[in-house]
Amino acid sequence: MYLDRRALLGGLAAAALAPAVAQAQDWTPPAPDRELRVPVRGGRIYARVNGDLAGPHAPVVFVHGGPGSNHGGFLAELALADRRAVILYDQLDSGLSDRPNDPANWTVERFVSEVDALRAALDLRRFHLVGHSWGSTLALEYAARQPGGLLSVTLGSPLISTRSWEASTTAQLRRLPRETQRIINVHEAAGTTDDPAYAAAMSQFYARYATRGPVPPYFAAYRKATGLRRNDAIYQGMWGSGEIRGTGTLRGYDGEPLLSRITAPTLFLCGEEDEMTADVLRPLVRRVRGARLAVIPDAGHSLPATHAQAYMAALRPHFYAADPKPALG
């Protein structure tokens, strides 16, 4: 089911009346109620928890993108802890997690296994799983295993396959000025992506399809206070030099056959001006039984940070519909 702009805006108008959804201008992310380091293959990963893990509504685990990004992109979603526990974590070699920087650890299977380790450490018997970008790759792989206790899955701006991703990003590239396209294509073909001209051209792509909107100042303050940072070595090794084309170990990735194996209620999300477009997503959504697609108006790829209100307005009903219902009588 596709949620169009009018339907989503109507939902946002209603959600704006609810204090649980609205964030005041001076809102800042709360300190974690709990922090832990979870042993995984290759080291330990950092995780933080806000909210009651034993509360009436099932917890939600957010899986960040990259590869090599960190949990900081989901700071705004800590507001969801007013109703359920919110769990953010950093993948190995990212953010505040251990950094052995061993490429042998940089496999899809090993990153997926971190979700199991996190579940065991927190005794998550039932939970919701939300991925974004590369994080959606991991959420897809996890959900396709049909694990017990997975109540719902959300695939936000997802890398389902390198083929579908590049179909989307190259289509978006063609909407930029011809000279910008030429510079990007020439340098990527020549392998000269360290050229300043390439960086300048890619900044146009990122401004239109990635950041696209102001990021609240608390993101920078949080990064400074915690020392949170990216790991570009993973990104370059697994994906490549830029968002448009994959040249790393993920260049042949294809998770499309996994879509039909998902049995948990599934929500796809993307921005109206995302790197991963709704046009490319729609046929993929149809391959998951009962899945829905929500398109966030005017948002780009960084929508959990730049369009958090709309993002959470789409997530909340998805979670509530899949939450266990109290027994009657």
The helix/strand/coil state of 260 is helix
Once rounded to an integer, what is the mean pLDDT over residues 23-35?
84
pLDDT in tens, 247-294: 999 999 999 999 999 999 999 999 999 999 999 999 999 999 999 999
What is the per-residue pLDDT for 325? 86
Identity at 14, one-letter amino acid code: A
- Tell me the residue ranges of DSSP E strands in the chain: 2-3, 34-40, 43-50, 60-63, 86-89, 127-132, 150-156, 266-271, 292-296
What is the per-residue burial (b if ≥16 Cβ within 10 Å, else e) of 277-314?
bbebbeebbeebeebbbbbbeebbbbbbbbbbebbbbb
Token readout for 83 is: 């109703």
Instruction: Identify which of 8, 300, 238, 263 has the alpha carbon closest to the alpha carbon of residue 148.
Output: 263
Once rounded to an integer, what is the mean pLDDT over residues 236-248?
97
Burial of residue 324 (number of CB atoms within 10 Å: 0-12, 13-18, 19+):
exposed
Instruction: Identify which of 250, 231, 254, 230 has the alpha carbon closest to the alpha carbon of residue 239.
Output: 250
Q: Are the C-beta atoms of residues 270 and 295 closer than 8 Å to each other?
A: yes
State the pLDDT confidence band at 328, using cuts at 50, 70 and 90. low
State the pLDDT confidence band at 234, using cuts at 50, 70 and 90. very high
The percent of the chain in helix, strand and coil, each rounded to the nearest 5, is 45, 15, 40
pLDDT in tens, 291-327: 999 999 999 999 999 999 999 999 999 999 999 987 6
pTM of the model as a whole:
0.92
**How far is residue 311's CA from residue 298's CA, in Å, rounded to a whole number?**
12
Residue by residue, DSSP assigns 174-198 as TTS-HHHHHHHHHHHHHT-TTSHHH
Q: Are the C-beta atoms of residues 300 and 212 closer than 8 Å to each other?
A: yes
Token readout for 6 is: 């009018």
pLDDT in tens, 165-195: 999 999 999 999 999 999 999 999 999 999 9
Cβ-based neighbour number of residue 232 at 10 Å: 12
pLDDT in tens, 105-116: 999 999 999 999
What is the per-residue pLDDT for 203? 97
**Hey, which residues are catalytic here?**
133, 274, 301
Structural domains for the chain: 2-173+214-322 (3.40.50.1820)
What is the per-residue pLDDT for 327? 60
Beta bridge mates, 63: 131
Token readout for 273 is: 């001006």
Quick check: 11 pLDDT over 80? no
The helix/strand/coil state of 269 is strand
**How far is residue 305's CA from residue 313's CA, in Å, rounded to a whole number?**
13
* % of residues, the chain, pLDDT over 70: 91
Instruction: List all residues 6 or more positions away from 123 whose beta carbon is below 8 Å from its beta carbon.
Output: 53
| Better-predicted residue by pLDDT, 22 or 23 | 23
Token readout for 299 is: 């948002």
- The Cα-based distances of 106 to 130, 229, 237, 276 in angstroms read 21, 18, 8, 23
